[in-house]
């Protein structure tokens, strides 16, 4: 690995929230990578971002069909982070090595149920987007590891201290702020007629 052959002052790795508990899920490799990087004895900071807010502008979640669809239970609060804020935390780590070296930091900017997310999207784009929960068995038929990830989310609700994360990065975006700043334009593109 190039990092071990070069003298590094600081290595920042973006993993995934709950990596140490997500055994067998599709993000399990993130934990294996964390363990491998630790074994190299690098000057290290690990960031563990929650679910990306930006995921909701992906056609995979069905907005363009007029609904938001995932296998997350409607009453589960999903912790979320804007991709922009992951970049901000990376910059903070490099700018403040004395505070971040040797740390593993879970990061999230908001915590909302899928219904609250679909309501926020509806308000932002002016289209009624109901939440539709996909049965976990349907996901399992397509992707067993994806199903394990959703089971983890449904059964191991993350409890990232968002107030503490915001103390470290006061510009941390809430979901509504992210929609206003970034997400609305991306989501509206899903409804744009193809040329």
Residues 6+ apart with CB under 8 A from 149: 22, 25, 26, 27
Residue 69 structure tokens: 């669809």
Give the pLDDT of residue 2. 47
Spatial distance between the Cα atoms of 142 and 139, rounded to a whole number of angstroms = 5
Residues 6+ apart with CB under 8 A from 41: none
Give the pLDDT of residue 31. 83
Task: Name 148's bridge partners.
Answer: none
Residues 6+ apart with CB under 8 A from 152: 18, 21, 22, 25
Superfamily (CATH) of domain 11-189: NAD(P)-binding Rossmann-like Domain (3.40.50.720)
- pLDDT, tens digit only, all 195 positions of the chain: 445 556 789 999 999 988 887 655 455 588 889 899 999 989 999 999 999 999 998 887 778 888 999 999 999 999 999 999 999 999 999 999 999 999 999 999 999 999 999 999 999 999 899 999 999 999 999 988 888 888 888 988 778 999 999 999 999 999 999 999 999 998 888 877 664
Reference 178, options 112, 90, 104; nearest CA is: 112
Give the pLDDT of residue 24. 52
Residues 6+ apart with CB under 8 A from 31: 15, 19, 20, 22, 23
- The answer to whether 107 and 50 have CB atoms below 8 angstroms apart is yes
pTM over 0.85: yes
Give the pLDDT of residue 172. 97
């Amino acid at each position: 690995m190039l990092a071990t052959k070069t003298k590094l002052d600081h290595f920042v790795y973006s993993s995934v929230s709950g990596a140490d508990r997500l055994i067998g899920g599709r993000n399990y490799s993130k934990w294996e990578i964390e363990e491998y990087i630790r074994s190299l004895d690098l000057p290290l900071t690990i960031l563990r971002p929650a679910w990306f807010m930006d995921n909701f502008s992906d056609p995979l979640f069905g907005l363009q069909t007029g609904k938001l669809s995932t296998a997350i239970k409607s009453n589960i609060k999903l912790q979320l982070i804007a991709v922009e804020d992951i970049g901000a935390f990376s910059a903070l780590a490099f700018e403040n090595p004395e505070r971040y070296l040797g740390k593993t930091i879970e990061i999230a900017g908001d915590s909302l149920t899928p219904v609250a997310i679909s309501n926020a999207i509806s308000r932002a784009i002016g289209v009624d987007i109901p939440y539709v929960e996909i049965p976990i068995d349907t996901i399992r038929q397509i992707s067993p590891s994806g199903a394990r990830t959703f089971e983890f989310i449904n059964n191991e609700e993350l409890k990232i201290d968002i107030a503490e994360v915001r103390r470290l990065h006061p510009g941390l975006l809430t979901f509504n702020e992210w929609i206003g700043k970034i997400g609305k334009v991306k989501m509206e593109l899903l409804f744009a007629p193809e040329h």
